[in-house]
Amino acid sequence: MNINDLFKIPSIPSGRNKRKMPATPEVSFLEKYQENHEGDNVNDNGKRRALEQGLQSDEHDYLRAQDSTEIHDDIEDTEGRFFGGGLTDEQSKLLDLVNEFDADTDQEQLTAASVKCMILKFEKAINKNQELRMRHSGDPTRFMESEADLDEEIKRLLVLTQAPHLYPELVKLNTIESMMSLLTHENTDIMIDAVEVINEWLDEDVGIDEQGRSEEAADGLKVLLESLLDHELLALLVQNLDRVDESQDTDRQGVFKILSIFENILSLDPELSKRITLDTKLPQWLLARLQTKQFDANQGYASELISILLQNDRDVRLKFCELNAVDICLRMLSAYKRKDPELDDEEEMVENLFSALVLLLNEGEAKELFYEAEGIELMLIMLKGRTLARIRAVKVLNYALSGNKGKASAVRFVQAAGLKPLFSLMMGKGNKKLKKSHRSFLESEDEEHILCIIVSLLRHLTVVDHAVERLRLINKFVENNYEKVERLVELEVQYQERDDLVNQSILQERGIVSQQEIDEEEAEHMYLERLDAGLFVLQRTCLVLGVLCTDDTHLGIKDIIDMLLKRQGKDQTSIMNVIEEETALLAEFVALRKIAMNTNPI
């Protein structure tokens, strides 16, 4: 891990917005925040003595200031957050406590000295609890009070999120080692307290204001994360995932917070996905949790973390392939082949599953697994619907058929009667209804994937190996009076006009009068903007048109293309101009043209 580059990497677009627990925080987080319990009669270890050196006056001033502020103690503890919307009585009280908390912490500025005093009390609480647990292991009533005190002192550390530049003090004072010990505490409530604090310390919003995150805050986060990783945080978190009982509300929320820590870590350093995947059992746990029958927030979170982990590294994707992730994703998605998710969070889970499948299909090994698991057939069933799955299945098929390892799937696609639904989509049938029912549907994105599928079919279906399948593909452009050819020309005109407008707009924004003023770097930026605005679709459209002109002797496709282009004041030169603009695209056209000329079906 390149820890020095931690905070130069942009956050992962993991679900896009940071997932938050859909419930209220524990009341105990705020209701006892300002209380101060003293009088711990425990012989502390060397760590405590080290902390006490040189701090007597600082501690005296700090604790006196703490004793002067109290938050009322009359709200009953709950087991944790509850799910739902609206403000209940508990939430209203919680809001009042938040206001009090904010008012108090505005007045109290954290310093290195105050942090040391806070940690001293925290260590005292740990030592007292440990001693009483050892002394009275058979009588929990004898150490219950010390456990409550420890709970308070852990949650006091949440205030440090206001001062991430002081995180290095936690490392100097060996606080990280103490926090790790709490992750193995016999009381799961104490463990979950520690998880919550670590989660908040690492939250992606910590230290960020209107000017962004300061260098000092970023350095503090870097030091903290490095220390947590050195103290085996990842392994301890995974162990606790197996330890908790999700039938209990508090434990279920603990799982959510553990998953949130992993998301925060990956947001800070995406490269840690490899370490998390290969060195821990988190992937196994996530895939198992994903397959639970009843949907809940943690199942959705598991799907999101899988899609995040798969984004950056081939080794990660191969590991998930070994763990049967392709088949698991397909089985999970099969439940939605003819229906839409009922809940918004459930819809997000389905989106994550499709995203994970697409990421996996970047690897040839995953394409083979997809083929064996009859993924082509499942996606074709989805194409016939008017659901979210119909929208995302097109993208999955694009990735499944692409590349050299996509040949088997391309053949299977035609043999499984995939041409009919594919060209129905190319003609835009059903798009109006999809636009109304699904805001996520983008016609341009749909057209991009459809054209990429057609290009893949033209590449893989050769007469030498698959003459029948290729002839079926070419004949699709002939049927119904060449309507598919007419649609292609329509797309070429539409996207060419769009590209011209975008190109002109870019030149005006940059104040460029002539092409000679554009340097190489500027030209590259402009080209990327044009690709995003529709040039990519235009290029694939021209590729298909160019190949069809070559792959035609007696079917009349070339004559129809020439006639339709002439109506627009164009000829095949306009198609070639688009293809020749990019070297890689021209090379692909030459390869496709050779296939067409050497394997002409007539």
Quote the pLDDT of residue 570: 93
226 vs 211, higher pLDDT: 226
Write a three-state SS string for 206-270: CCEECCEECHHHHHHHHHHHHHHHHCCHHHHHHHHHHHCCCCCHHHHHHHHHHHHHHHHHHHHCC
Crossing angle of helices 479-509 and 419-426, rounded to 10°: 50
Are 34 and 68 in contact by the 8 Å Cβ rule? The answer is no
Whether the pLDDT of residue 201 is over 90: the answer is yes
Quote the pLDDT of residue 137: 80
Phi, psi at residue 95, to the nearest 5°?
Answer: -65, -40
CA distance 282 to 7: 24
CA distance 374 to 253: 37
Quote the pLDDT of residue 520: 81
**157: CB partners within 8 A, 6+ apart:** 118, 122, 197
- Mean pLDDT score of the chain, rounded to an integer? 84
Quote the pLDDT of residue 52: 46
Lowest-pLDDT range of 19-28, 431-440, 569-578:
19-28
Model confidence at 357, in pLDDT bands (50, 70, 90)?
very high
CA distance 414 to 104: 68
82 vs 221, higher pLDDT: 221
CA distance 72 to 189: 22
The secondary structure element, H or E, covering residue 209 is: strand 208-209
| CA quadruple 489, 491, 497, 501: dihedral, nearest 10 | -160
Model confidence at 4, in pLDDT bands (50, 70, 90)?
very low
Quote the pLDDT of residue 544: 97
* Of 282, 288, 252, the residue nearest 265 (C-alpha): 282
Quote the pLDDT of residue 404: 93
Using DSSP, state whether 1 is helix, strand or coil: coil
* Of 322, 429, 417, the residue nearest 379 (C-alpha): 417
**257: CB partners within 8 A, 6+ apart:** 21, 192, 195, 196, 199
Domain ranges of the chain: 15-240, 492-598
Question: What's the pLDDT tens digit per position in 535-569?
Answer: 999 999 999 999 999 876 668 999 999 999 999 99
Write a three-state SS string for 54-84: CCHHHHHHHHHHHHCCCCCCCCCCCCCCCEC
Q: How many C-beta atoms lie closer than 10 Å to residue 75's C-beta?
A: 18
Phi, psi at residue 417, to the nearest 5°?
Answer: 65, 40
DSSP state of 12: P
Q: How many C-beta atoms lie closer than 10 Å to residue 397's C-beta?
A: 29
Taking the CA of residue 27 as centre, how many other CA atoms within 13 Å lie in the half-sphere pointing to its CB?
A: 18
Question: What's the pLDDT tens digit per position in 317-336?
Answer: 999 999 999 999 999 999 99
* Of 437, 375, 164, the residue nearest 366 (C-alpha): 375
* Of 215, 263, 223, the residue nearest 11 (C-alpha): 263
Query: Mean pLDDT throughout 270-298?
Result: 96
Quote the pLDDT of residue 72: 39
Model confidence at 108, in pLDDT bands (50, 70, 90)?
low
Quote the pLDDT of residue 85: 43
* Of 247, 276, 271, the residue nearest 259 (C-alpha): 276
Question: What's the pLDDT tens digit per position in 163-176?
Answer: 999 999 999 999 99
Question: What's the pLDDT tens digit per position in 443-458?
Answer: 999 999 999 999 999 9
